[in-house]
Amino acid sequence: MIRFFNTLSGKLEPFHPITQGKVKLYTCGPTVYDHAHIGNFRAYMFEDLLKRFLVFMGYTVTHVMNITDVDDKTINGAHAEGVSLQDFTKKYIDSFYKDMDTLKITRADHYPKATEHIPEMARMIKGLLDKGYAYEKDGSIYFSIAKFPDYGRLSKINLDELKPGERIESDEYEKDSVNDFALWKHKKEGEPFWETEVGSGRPGWHIECSVMSSKYLGETFDIHCGGTDNIFPHHENEIAQSEAYFGKKFVNYWLHCRHLIVDGEKMSKSKGNYYTMRDLLKKNIDPSVLRFLLISTHYRKMLNFTFEALDQANASLQRIKDFLFELNNHPFKEGESKAVSKIIEKTQKNFTDGLSDDLNISVALRALFDMIREVNSLIAEEKIFSQDAENLQRFIHSLDSVLAVLPEEKEELLPADIMRKIEERENARKEKNYTRADAIRDELLEHGIVLEDTKDGVRWKRVKTKR
Ligand code: AMP
Ligand code: ZN
C-alpha cells in the first residue's frame, strides 16, 4: 500500500486514485523571468521521483505543469530589457526544458502557458462574479475570501487576521496577508493586456492553475505538488477559486517539498550562493551526481546543498557504478545460484516498501547499498555465477527507472580507480610532467583503456586486452 503525507489533512494517508490504475498529477511550474535555480529543481526532482515511482508501481500518470509567462516579475523583466513579454520569456522557457533534460526529469504530458489560456481564465472569473464569490473594484476583480468558509484549510492560516474587503494587488504576498486576492488586473499603462469578457487587463497569478488543471485533468484530480512556499497563498487561492467555481473538491492529495538551502543559508543572489544549472555545469558538476544529491534527501526534510554533499553523492553513485562494472567484467563461472534471486526479491521488497512509505528514499537507497555489499562478499567467495550477474544488472537498471542516476546502458562505465588514473594523468600533463603522464597512459593501456587527447579534453575507449 502506498501512503503519502497530505498537507490538507496533516496526516499520512493511504493513496487511492480516483480511477484505478490512473493518476492525474498537477505540479506548479516555473515563472519564466530567470533561469531556474537548484531550489526549483529540488521541487521538480521530488515530483519526478514521485511520478517515476508511480509508473514503476504500474500506474499510468498524466502530468501537467504550468508555465507562468505573464505576472508581475515577467512583465518587469521584459520592461527592464525593452523587449516583448514573449521574447523575454522564450529564452527562459528554452533554458528550463534544457535543464530538465540534463537532469533527466521526465517531461510532463502538457506544459500549458498562462498567455495561451486567457479566454478560459476570463470565463472562470466571470463565473465567480456571477456566483457572488468575486467583485469588481476600479476595473480589477478580486476573490472575496469571506464568501468561501473553507478558506485557510490547507495552510491553517489564522483567519482572525481576516479583514473583509481589504485587497491585495501583487501576485505574491506575505504570510499574514489574509486579504482578498486579485483574479484580474485592470489594464495599466505600459503593461500587456487582453480584451476579454471581464474587461481589458491581465490575469492575476493564481487563476491560471485553477483553469489549466481543470482543462487538462478534470475538475477533481488526484495529486497536486509544489514547494512549501506555494501552500500560502498560491495553493490556498487555487482551492478557493476551483471549489467555488465547480462546487466540488479540487484535489485529493497535496504534497509539498521543503526548501533547498545553500551552506545552511537561504539561497540569494546577493550572497552569491544562488546556483542555476549553467553555474554548476561551468564548475564541471556531473548532472547525474546533482540528481543523486537532490533525490537522496527525503522531500519533507530541508535539503542543505554544499559541495561536500555533492562529493559524497558522487562517492555513493560511484559505488553503484563500480558494482555494475564488476558484474560486467568479472570472470564469472557459468551457472546461477539460488542466493541471488532471494537477495533480489528482498531488495525489491525493501526498495518498494521504502518508497511506498511517503517516498522514503533513505530506506530505498539503503536496500540497494545493502544488496551491493552482500553480493560483493559473495563475489569474493566465488559464489556468484554468470546468470546471476546478468540478473543483477537487469534488476539494477529496473530500479534506475525510478532513480535515473546511471548512465544509459549503452554508455560504458569505468571503475573509480581507472577514472582517478585518467585524472592523475591530466594533472601531470597540466604540470608538464610528460614522463609521468606517459607512464600512466601505458598503465591504462594494460587495462585495455586507450586515451585520446582532443581539443575538448581527454576521451577514452576500450580495446580488447585482459584486465
Ligand atoms: P517559482 O518559479 O518561484 O514559481 O517556483 C517554481 C517551483 O519551485 C515551486 O514549486 C516552488 O515551490 C519551488 N521552489 C522555489 N524555491 C525553492 C527552494 N529553494 N527549494 C525548493 N523548492 C523551491
Ligand atoms: Zn500553481
pLDDT tens-digit series, residues 127-159? 999 999 999 999 999 999 989 999 999 999 877
Residues 58 and 116 in one domain: yes
For ligand 1, atom 18, which residue shows the shortest CA distance? 39
Residues 190 and 314 in one domain: no
Question: Domain ends where: 354, 377, 403?
Answer: 403
Residues 92 and 227 in one domain: yes
- Probe residue for ligand 1, chosen from 229, 275, 295, 300 as the CB with the greatest number of ligand atoms within 8 Å: 229
* For the chain, percent of residues with pLDDT exceeding 70: 95
What's the pLDDT at 423? 84
Q: 332 in a domain, yes or no?
A: yes
Residues 396 and 423 in one domain: no
What's the pLDDT at 177? 63
Residues 195 and 298 in one domain: no
What is the chain's alpha carbon radius of gyration, rounded to the nearest angstrom?
A: 26
Contacts 24+ apart (CB under 8 A), 264-269: 264/304, 267/37, 267/38, 267/39
Res. 164 pLDDT band, cuts 50 70 90: low
How far apart, in Å, are the Cα atoms of 20 and each of 23, 24, 58? 8, 11, 11
Res. 410 pLDDT band, cuts 50 70 90: low
Q: 185 in a domain, yes or no?
A: yes
Lowest mean pLDDT among 73-77, 285-289, 311-315, 417-421: 417-421
Give the strand pairing for 251-257 and 221-227.
parallel
Lowest mean pLDDT among 73-77, 207-211, 263-267, 302-306: 263-267
Pairwise CA distance, residues 134 & 130, whole Å = 8
Mean of the pLDDT values across residues 57-80?
96
Contact 106, 52 (CB under 8 A): yes
At 312 the three-state DSSP class reads helix
For ligand 1, atom 12, which residue shows the shortest CA distance? 227
Q: 446 in a domain, yes or no?
A: yes
Q: 377 in a domain, yes or no?
A: yes
Contact 35, 280 (CB under 8 A): no
CATH number at residue 393: 1.20.120.640
Residues 311 and 281 in one domain: yes
Res. 467 pLDDT band, cuts 50 70 90: very low
Q: Which atom of ligand 1 is nearest to the CA of 226?
A: 10
Closest CA to 246 of 111, 133, 145, 164: 133
Residues 162 and 231 in one domain: yes
Give the count of domains, the chain. 3
Residues 88 and 120 in one domain: yes
Mean of the pLDDT values across residues 3-32?
98
What's the pLDDT at 394? 96
Q: Read off the pLDDT of residues 278-325 as tens digits, 9 standing for 90 and up.
A: 999 999 999 999 999 999 999 999 999 999 999 999 999 999 999 999
SS3 content of the chain, % helix, strand, coil (to 5): 50, 20, 35
Residues 253 and 281 in one domain: no
Question: Domain ends where: 257, 286, 316?
Answer: 257
Q: Count how many Cα atoms sit within 13 Å of the Cα of residue 321 in the half-sphere of its side chain.
A: 24
Residues 337 and 226 in one domain: no
Counting ligands in written order, which one lies closest to the CA of residue 92?
A: 1
Q: 267 in a domain, yes or no?
A: no
Q: Read off the pLDDT of residues 343-387 as tens digits, 9 standing for 90 and up.
A: 999 999 999 999 999 999 999 999 999 999 999 999 999 999 999
Mean of the pLDDT values across residues 225-246?
96
| Mean pLDDT of the chain, nearest integer | 93
Prediction pTM value: 0.89
Pairwise CA distance, residues 265 & 378, whole Å = 44
Mean of the pLDDT values across residues 105-111?
98
Res. 466 pLDDT band, cuts 50 70 90: very low
Q: Read off the pLDDT of residues 175-200 as tens digits, 9 standing for 90 and up.
A: 556 789 999 999 999 899 999 999 99
Lowest mean pLDDT among 261-265, 374-378, 397-401, 402-406: 261-265
Residues 208 and 138 in one domain: yes
Q: 251 in a domain, yes or no?
A: yes
Range of the domain at 283: 277-403
- Probe residue for ligand 1, chosen from 28, 40, 103, 257 as the CB with the greatest number of ligand atoms within 8 Å: 40
How many other CB atoms sit within 10 Å of the CB of residue 386?
Answer: 15
Q: 368 in a domain, yes or no?
A: yes
Pairwise CA distance, residues 53 & 28, whole Å = 19
Mean of the pLDDT values across residues 44-66?
98
What's the pLDDT at 252? 98
What's the pLDDT at 448? 78
Q: 146 in a domain, yes or no?
A: yes
Q: Which residues line ligand 1 (CB under 6 A)?
A: 28, 30-31, 39-40, 42-43, 226-227, 229-230, 257, 259-260, 267
At 382 the three-state DSSP class reads coil
What's the pLDDT at 173? 65
Res. 452 pLDDT band, cuts 50 70 90: confident
Residues 163 and 37 in one domain: yes
Question: Domain ends where: 228, 257, 286?
Answer: 257
